[in-house]
Chains A and B, each alone.
Chain A
Amino acid sequence: MAPEIPDRPPPRLETGAFGWVRRNLLWPWYNAVLTALSLLLAWSAAKPFWNWAVANATLTLDPAVARQHTGAAWGYIRDTWPIFMTGIYPAEERWRPLAALVLVLALAGLSLLPRLRRGRALRLAWLASPLAVFALIHGGGFTGLPAVETHYWGGLMLTVLLSVVAMAAAFPLSVLLALGRTSELPVARPFCVAYIEVVRGVPLITILFMASVVLPLFLPSDVKLDKVMRAMVGITLFFAAYLAENIRGGLQGIPKGQYEAADALGMGYWKKMTVVILPQALRIVIPPMVNNFIAILKDTSLVGIVGLMDLLQIAFATTSSPKWFGRLEEANVFIAFWYWVLCYGMSSYSARLERKIPSADR
């Protein structure tokens, strides 16, 4: 019997940190060139940013002191961040949006508890939460709080409210549109097709202009919709069309046998849809719907063009005041941070869902 040859260790060049560096960065020769070029690129972008944002930056609340430094004046953010959060919402009432936020976060936290998640109480609480949030932020009426009209709303609060309301309102509309488009009704189907295709073919800005300039003409003269409501209507109508196409994709992904089985059980159209088809279809399209939500959040930044005080407009408002004049860089970084955290958070959550959901079926 031949003597057993012991395994030799792999060459030192191929293992460990050294091997990793060689494999990923240095070999073959053109990879080393690419590495050098990438380093140069990263360095040339990162170094000025580092100098500006950290090395030469100040945290002082005194603009005069900040002006003596070449870097960022983060004191500007320290000074104005409440405005970024709620816009020109009266300062002494700012606890109300905060309370609304705490309320929603508390509900979300409770939903993480498996025992409560299945309970009816939590579901009712979620259903009641929009009313509670509105009552807190708007006030007036039965609440006993001084009313804060919508034109005082702004900043991140407005951005999030606009996108949440648009998502919530666009959802049922888009389900109807998708059902209409996939149905065989000779009147309803072309209507839905036309609506979806027209809305998807025009820019959001024109829809916003329509909502802010043309919509009032269509309404009786005694009905007054304020600017925020008009923007909400516009964004909702816009995203319903995009959402409807996603849901249509989900509907098309349901095997015909499911429809036939529901028919065989003698279900009517609405029962078949709400009990059998839609739950499955909507589950398939959760990831694209999250993408849609990201798009809504990003696109609410356009409402500034029709005169609302969203995050971007706050940046212009606070940097045109004499105190912190021209600190647009800091403002942009701050806004970018919020958008990025929210959008990246949602997209990585959707990626996780995408990995999780099919495995439940297969």
Chain B
Amino acid sequence: MNQRPAPPQVPFWRSPQGRAWTFQIAMLAAFLWLVAAAYSNVLANLESRGISSGFKFLRNEAGFRIGETMGVPLPGWGVFVILAALAAGLAASRLMARRARSTPGPRGDAWFAAGVLACAGLPVLALWLTRDAVDVAHYSETSSYGLALAVGLLNTLKVTLIGCVASTFLGLLVALGRLSPNWLLRTLCRWYVELNRNLPVLLQLFFWYFIVLQHLPDVRNSLSLGEWAFLNKRGLYVPALVPLDGAWPFCAALLAALAAAVVLRRRSRRLRDETGAPGRWVVPGACLLLALPALSWLAAGQPFALELPALKGFNFQGGTGLSPEFTALVVGLTVYVSAFNAEIIRSGIQAVPKGQREAARALAMGEGQVLRLVVLPQAMRVIVPPMTSEYLAIAKSSSLAVAIGYPDFVSVGGTVLNQSGQSIEVVGIWMGVYLAISLVISLGMNIYNRRVALVER
């Protein structure tokens, strides 16, 4: 008889699964014990300091000044209306686009135009209808801690956005410089990168804030660009666009025209791919972009006034003043990150095999076409993931604003923390919000990455 010997009995705790579970249960127990100990400590410590926990303090009056504030749009019912209109517009345009495809000829074109109108018009209409429904709260000393934090958050987002865009362009320039056949330019760009990469960003912020900006002339002797821009110790003053009555319809028309032009372009591209007919979208798109805003300008009157900064008394009045803190933060972050971005872009461009360029040239492509159609799309695959990390780094490093007194999210939160003593809550809010920002940035970049990634079988 062919009987297999019974396998030796291994006790459960000595089998791989058993050990894994024992280990994990021990870990979980240790973790729970830590949490429980920390919790009881927190309760005891908070009681001895007379602090109550919870987020109620966010309603309390802040009582401190914030140097730079923006109006905080408070979401009301208008947001839902706009979102609903956006969804409805998209759905309608989808339907009509399908109709347009099934009915060729001028009637199809009419359906298509209706789709474009629905897609662009409905949200614009909703924006117009709800323009008073979105409350804009302006921060003052009597506002709540919650509003103070919101102002700080907006300031952080402002710096992050400008920093990302500016550092990308500066990085691209430096990367191209490093790839230049010109030895001097190449060397300069190399040292730019080596210098910026190897110095702490905080040191660089101090350099811009305490040294460069302090050496600028005082208000009376500002460096000026004609009557338009003035640079002095107190910051940078540039003209401001002041919205007048016509601003709303004008912006709406501009948005609608942009959306319509994008749709036009996509349609002509698809037509070209399907039928081989040359897709023409540049001229109609440009006409649309010019005509709609121009019409609304004529209909609604002048939408914006340009307000120039002017020296009155001891300081500049009018225009937009960028504070020294903001300027130092944006310039410092941009310069620091641009060094990293330059290396990322350079490595991406160098990762494209030389044969690809040669093949493109052999197909008689021009230099611009080679770059635009062959090199950059392939370089993007290498560039986008590490660039995402750099954008995340900008969002996070903008928190160094606290060191030079720019009222960003961490700086305002720090003041709230000191005043209210609600350290756990404030640190929790910080972490949650930065996690959300990081998540949104990496989500957006991942969607973009999927579009540029190598399509494999």
Residues of chain A at the chain B interface (Cβ within 8 Å): 24-25, 31, 34-35, 37-39, 41-42, 185-188, 191, 198, 200-206, 209-210, 213-214, 216-221, 268-269, 294, 298-299, 301-302, 304-305, 312, 315, 328-329, 332, 335-336, 339-340, 343-344, 347
Contacts and interface: CB of A to CB of B under 8 A. Distances in A.
Main secondary structure of the interface of B (DSSP, over half): helix
B288 interface: no
Closest 5 CB pairs of A and B: A343-B198, A24-B183, A201-B438, A203-B396, A203-B399
Nearest to B418: A213
Contact of B41 (A205, A213, A219, A328): A219
Given A298-B199, A328-B210, A188 B399 contact: no
A315 to B, nearest CB: 8
15 contacts: A25-B184, A35-B185, A38-B188, A39-B184, A185-B23, A203-B399, A206-B399, A217-B41, A218-B41, A221-B41, A269-B16, A294-B198, A328-B206, A328-B210, A340-B198
A336 B439 contact: no
Given A24-B181, A206-B431, A302 B203 contact: no
Contacts of A219: 41
Contacts of A185: 20, 23-24
A202 B206 contact: no
Given A41-B188, A221-B41, A221-B45, A202 B397 contact: no
B165 interface: no
Given A35-B182, A41-B188, A329-B211, A206 B198 contact: no
Contacts of B207: 332, 336
A127 B249 CA distance: 73
B211 A305 contact: no
Interface stretch (B95-103, B121-129, B272-280, B422-430): B422-430
A332 B211 contact: yes
A37 B41 CA distance: 64
Given A34-B180, A187-B28, A217-B42, A339 B210 contact: no
Nearest to A30: B182
Contacts of B20: 185, 269
Given A188-B23, A205-B410, 16 more contacts: A31-B181, A34-B185, A42-B188, A191-B31, A198-B435, A200-B438, A202-B438, A206-B430, A210-B427, A221-B48, A268-B19, A298-B199, A299-B200, A301-B200, A335-B203, A347-B197
Given A217-B41, A218-B38, A344-B198, A38 B399 contact: no
Contacts of B41: 217-221
B424 A217 contact: yes
A202 B183 contact: no
B454 interface: no
Main secondary structure of the interface of A (DSSP, over half): helix
A294 B197 CA distance: 10
B194 interface: yes
Given A203-B396, A206-B434, A298 B184 contact: no
Given A188-B27, A205-B410, A214-B427, A221 B434 contact: no
A230 to B, nearest CB: 13
Interface string B187-202: 0100000110111111
Contacts of B203: 301, 312, 332, 335-336, 339
A25 B434 contact: no
Nearest to A216: B45
A187 B24 contact: yes
Contacts of A339: 198-200, 203
Nearest to B396: A203
Contacts of B430: 202, 206, 209
A217 B41 CA distance: 7
Contacts of A220: 37, 41, 44
Given A35-B185, A298-B199, A312-B203, A201 B417 contact: no
B28 A298 contact: no
A213 B423 contact: yes
A106 B232 CA distance: 52
Contacts of B185: 34-35, 37-38
Nearest to A199: B431
Contacts of B198: 294, 298, 339-340, 343-344, 347
B457 to A, nearest CB: 23
A312 B195 contact: no
A72 to B, nearest CB: 12
A335 B211 CA distance: 14
A303 B77 CA distance: 44
B182 A25 contact: yes
Contacts of B271: none
A222 to B, nearest CB: 10
Contacts of B396: 202-204
Nearest to B421: A213
A104 B258 CA distance: 65
B402 interface: yes
A331 B42 CA distance: 42
Contacts of A210: 427, 431
B371 interface: no
Contacts of B439: 201
B400 interface: yes
Contacts of A202: 396, 430-431, 434-435, 438
A149 B392 CA distance: 38
B427 A205 contact: no
A214 B200 contact: no
Contacts of A191: 27, 31
B199 A213 contact: no
Interface string B77-91: 000000000000000
B402 A213 contact: no
A302 B211 CA distance: 19
Contacts of A302: 202, 400
B193 to A, nearest CB: 11
B399 A205 contact: yes
Which of B27, B200, B400, B424 gathers most chain A CB within 10 Å? B200
